[in-house]
Amino acid sequence: MPPKKTGNAMTQRKAEAERQAQQQRRRRVIWFSTVGVLLVLIIVVLSLDPKPKAKVASFDYENLPMLGQSDAPVKVVEFGDFKCPTCKMANETIKTQLVSDYIDQGKAVFYFMNLPFLGKDSMTAALAVQSVYHQNKDAYWPYFDAIFSKQGDERTEWATVDFLVGLAEELKLEVDYEQLRKDIENKTYQKEVDEQYAKGDALGVDSTPTFFINGQEFAGNVGSYDEFKKAIEEAIGE
């Protein structure tokens, strides 16, 4: 029987023990390095603004129909279509309460931009309100409200030239009715309406009404004044 190689066996055991120790040291180094990287990432994330502000849209407020005081801290812009039933609802709820709660208090100011897309007479109505706006700014909002109040079925062509001129006469607006008719028929303010439409398109507005509050799109339910009021209060507090 050959002699036992006890010396070699001990050497092998020592080498194996050293190899295992080295592996454990490497694992500890890797673990601590990973934890260190994660801690750095956590610190970086926590240092960032948790609520980055959305890009703010800019508007040419000075050249838009305005309801309220121009220096009000909250500026509300609506993109709308006079044939849109939801716009009519918003005009009778959102805007009405906005006037009593904020506009009359000098806390908010309201602007309107045309986004006529529901029918041919959507454009006719837009041209009519622009004509009234340029003739007499004080007559604009009574006319604006009356068109929504008299709104017909969106599937029919009701906002005709005769209807729109007749409505101005019925309201006894202090404007030149013949000039109003000419402005509609000659599309005097077509460029302005097109520019407003293009602005909405550039902002990704794909439905009416769409509101912007201090340049940021209102993402809440346009049928809920409570949600709208909350957004206004947040804008006041900024």
Checking if the pLDDT of 135 tops 80, the result is yes
What whole-number distance in Å separates Cα of residue 211 and Cα of residue 214?
Answer: 10
Q: Confidence band (pLDDT; 50, 70, 90) for 238? A: confident
What whole-number distance in Å separates Cα of residue 74 and Cα of residue 235?
Answer: 6
What's the whole-model pTM score? Answer: 0.77
pLDDT of residue 8: 62
- Answer whether 162's CB lies under 8 Å from 169's CB: no
Task: Classify residue 54 as left (phi > 0), alpha (psi -120 to 50) or beta.
Answer: beta
Percent of the chain at pLDDT above 70?
77
Binning the chain into helix, strand and coil, the percentages to the nearest 5 are: 60, 10, 35
Comparing 30 with 88, which gets the higher pLDDT? 88
pLDDT of residue 169: 98
Nearest Cα neighbor of 167 from 153, 184, 187 is 184
32 membership: H or E segment, kind and range: helix 6-47
Convert the pLDDT of each residue in 162-221 to its tens digit: 999 999 999 999 999 999 999 999 999 999 999 999 999 999 999 999 999 999 999 989
Q: Confidence band (pLDDT; 50, 70, 90) for 56? A: confident
pLDDT of residue 104: 97
Query: Does a cis peptide bond (omega within 30 degrees of 0) precede residue 65?
Result: no
Mean pLDDT of 26-53: 55
Percent of the chain at pLDDT above 90?
74
For the chain, give the mean pLDDT.
87
